[in-house]
Structure 1
Amino acid sequence: MNLTTVIWNESNLCIVIEDFVYDVCFEQMSEQQFKQSLSTLYEAFQHFYSAQLHYAESIQYFIQCKYWIDHFLNGQPISCILNFNTLQVSILCCVLYQYQNEYWKEQVCFIQQEQQNRISLYQYLTKLMTHYSELLFVRVDLGYLKEQQVDIGIENVQQHMSILRNRIANQDGCFMGLRGYAWALEQGGDKGYHCHLLLIYDPSKRQNDWYLADQVWQMWNSITGNIGVHFNCNTTEHKQRFIRNDRLGVGPIRCSHPQEVSNALNAAMYLVNPEKYAQHLRAKLPYMRSFGTGQFEVHWRRGVAQTLQLCGF
């Protein structure tokens, strides 16, 4: 990647910084490469850094490095990073080398958290599919126009997600007739910040799954100020790919049919995949969650006790 031609946004900058810190710790890099990359990333980070955010370990070590750079520059132009001497470079590298042990710890923590989320989602969906005879599964991915991502930080994402979750909880508009839901927030190199959303409807109230996913996008686009994008997993074309292999896990699901239940569970597990470390969030607001589900034990569901007993809870 040519760092000098990148149009930076908070998401891609944090990913590139993480890759840079990893390369310093685990790969070969010349002193000149180090200074050139550091100069570019330091300058870009000046525009996006926020003391209010909690950053991933790699970014935190880069921030420590930034403080040393501030000290070395002492008011000089950023271009002077290219003139740092060997001792200054060694100090900066030593700061970043501390990430070596943290890298593995962070991966283990991510895997453990995703495995816990996986168990939580599996149990939640099992309760729903034990309780109801039929459900309508809708999957839609929500994100932002690439050319607008320069203006989207994690604080904007949190605001948009809060509005979306509130409308889901209140069953506003296209969310009327929901039996349950789950969501997962991720960060990708090209996609930027994006949300995987699973919506589970009462099929006696809602039938057209493609239309519902499209309406969810329309609402998301309204929430984001017309800069939203989406991927509809319930289109005929997309579903045909899975029908051919008897793996379709969206659309109408008959809960008495083991294969349909298994397919639905497998499709839902994409939201919580321990192998997707590359898409973990590098920046969060305090107490911010990246995954959640609805509640099963709510007052309007009859026979909850019997369902819990059948599920072994």
Structure 2
Amino acid sequence: MNLTTVLWNESSICTAIEDFVYDVCFEQMDEQQFKQTLSTLYEAFQHFYSAQLHYADSIQYFIQCKYWIDHFLNGLSASHILNFNIQQVQTLCCVLSQYKYDYWNEHARFIQQEEQNRISLHQYLTKLFTHYSELLFVRVDLGYLKEQQVYMGIENVQQHMSILRNRIANQDGCFMGLQGYAWALEQGENKGYHCHLLLIYDPSKRQNDWYLADQVWQMWNSITGNTGVHFNCNTTEYKQQFMRNDRLGVGPIRCSNPVEVSNALNAAMYLVNPEKYAQHLRAKIPYMRSFGTGQFEVHWRRGVAQTLQRCGFKSNND
């Protein structure tokens, strides 16, 4: 990442800080490079830091470093970081180097959480596959225009996601006919905050999967005040790429067909991938979730007890 040309936003500054702290701990960095990078990140972070947010360990160590910098600067501008003496630099390096002992723990916690999410999603989808004869799988990725990301902090994202999940739960508009859903909120270096959304429809009520994904995008754009972007995984061109290798996991899925079910499961598991550590959220609202599914046991779904028995699960009423 070229720090001199970045149009900073909350997502990009947190990603850059994490990369910087990692490099201090595990890579070689000379004193001048350390001071230049630190000066740039310190000044940019000032505009986005919020004491109300919960940050990843790497950002928390940078915040500790920030307090030391505030003390050293004593009211001077961030450019004076370039004039810090060797003792000040060593103090700041020492603070950041403590992350070395937490990096692997944080990484392991992410993997463990994603593995648990995979199990949860797999169980949820297995119940649906066992309960229905056919389902319509729709995948759409939702995010923000590049030039608008500077205005989109995690609090804005949480607000937009809350509205979206509420409309999904109420089956408003394009969500009518849903039998299930799952979502995962992530953070990318270039894409910023974005959501992977899986929607599972009743094919007797909904047929055109491309159109449904497009309508979801229209709703997202309305929720975000025309600042949204999307990627439709149900276009003909995109689906043909997977059809050639018999790996298509979106569109109509016959639940009695093992290949189609396996493909749908594989496509769904992209939402919860332990290998996507680079996509983890660096800033969260306290108690905020980054993954969720619908509920299988709901009052309008008939024959739930029999399905749970076939799947080997116990009903909540047992």
CA offsets, 1:32-74, max 9 Å, x none?
0000000000000000000000000000000000000000011
> For residue 81 of structure 1, what is the aligned residue in structure 2?
81
> For residue 311 of structure 1, what is the aligned residue in structure 2?
311
Which secondary structure does the structure 2 equivalent of 1:110 belong to?
A: helix
> For residue 290 of structure 1, what is the aligned residue in structure 2?
290
Q: What CA distance in whole angstroms lies between the structure 2 residues aligned with 1:31 and 1:221?
A: 45
Question: Residue 59 of structure 1 aligns to which amino acid in structure 2?
Answer: I
Q: What CA distance in whole angstroms lies between the structure 1 residues aligned with 2:264 and 2:37?
A: 45
> For residue 194 of structure 1, what is the aligned residue in structure 2?
194
The offset of 1:147, in angstroms, is: 0.9
> For residue 264 of structure 1, what is the aligned residue in structure 2?
264
Q: What CA distance in whole angstroms lies between the structure 1 residues aligned with 2:246 and 2:5?
A: 45
Q: What CA distance in whole angstroms lies between the structure 1 residues aligned with 2:75 and 2:188?
A: 35
Q: What CA distance in whole angstroms lies between the structure 2 residues aligned with 1:201 and 1:301?
A: 13
Query: Does the alignment pair 1:167 with 2:161?
Result: no
Question: Residue 95 of structure 1 aligns to which amino acid in structure 2?
Answer: V
> For residue 111 of structure 1, what is the aligned residue in structure 2?
111
Q: What CA distance in whole angstroms lies between the structure 1 residues aligned with 2:76 and 2:14?
A: 25
The offset of 1:26, in angstroms, is: 0.4
CA offsets, 1:76-109, max 9 Å, x none?
1211110000000000000001000110000000
Q: What is the root-mean-square deviation in Å for CA atoms of aligned residues?
A: 0.5
Question: Residue 132 of structure 1 aligns to which amino acid in structure 2?
Answer: Y
State, as a whole percentage, how many aligned pairs show the same letter: 87
Q: What CA distance in whole angstroms lies between the structure 2 residues aligned with 1:188 and 1:105?
A: 21
The offset of 1:2, in angstroms, is: 2.6
Question: Residue 12 of structure 1 aligns to which amino acid in structure 2?
Answer: S
> For residue 37 of structure 1, what is the aligned residue in structure 2?
37
> For residue 152 of structure 1, what is the aligned residue in structure 2?
152
Q: What CA distance in whole angstroms lies between the structure 2 residues aligned with 1:78 and 1:239?
A: 50
**TM-score between the two structures when normalised by the length of structure 2:** 0.98
Q: What CA distance in whole angstroms lies between the structure 1 residues aligned with 2:201 and 2:39?
A: 51
Runs of 4+ in 1 over 6 A off after TM superposition: none
> For residue 18 of structure 2, what is the aligned residue in structure 1?
18
Question: Residue 179 of structure 1 aligns to which amino acid in structure 2?
Answer: Q
CA offsets, 1:96-148, max 9 Å, x none?
01000110000000000000000000000000010000000000000000011
Q: What CA distance in whole angstroms lies between the structure 2 residues aligned with 1:114 and 1:78?
A: 38
Question: Residue 230 of structure 1 aligns to which amino acid in structure 2?
Answer: H
CA offsets, 1:142-167, max 9 Å, x none?
00000110111000000000000000
Q: What CA distance in whole angstroms lies between the structure 1 residues aligned with 2:61 and 2:94?
A: 10
Q: What CA distance in whole angstroms lies between the structure 1 residues aligned with 2:190 and 2:37?
A: 20
CA offsets, 1:197-221, max 9 Å, x none?
0000000000000000000000000
Query: Does the alignment pair 1:254 with 2:244?
Result: no
Which secondary structure does the structure 2 equivalent of 1:136 belong to?
A: strand
Where does the alignment leave 5 or more consecutive residues of structure 2 unmatched?
314-318
Q: What CA distance in whole angstroms lies between the structure 1 residues aligned with 2:220 and 2:59?
A: 30
Which secondary structure does the structure 2 equivalent of 1:48 belong to?
A: coil
> For residue 127 of structure 1, what is the aligned residue in structure 2?
127
Question: Residue 26 of structure 2 aligns to which amino acid in structure 1?
Answer: F
Q: What CA distance in whole angstroms lies between the structure 1 residues aligned with 2:215 and 2:154?
A: 24
Q: What CA distance in whole angstroms lies between the structure 2 residues aligned with 1:77 and 1:196?
A: 41
Question: Residue 160 of structure 2 aligns to which amino acid in structure 1?
Answer: H
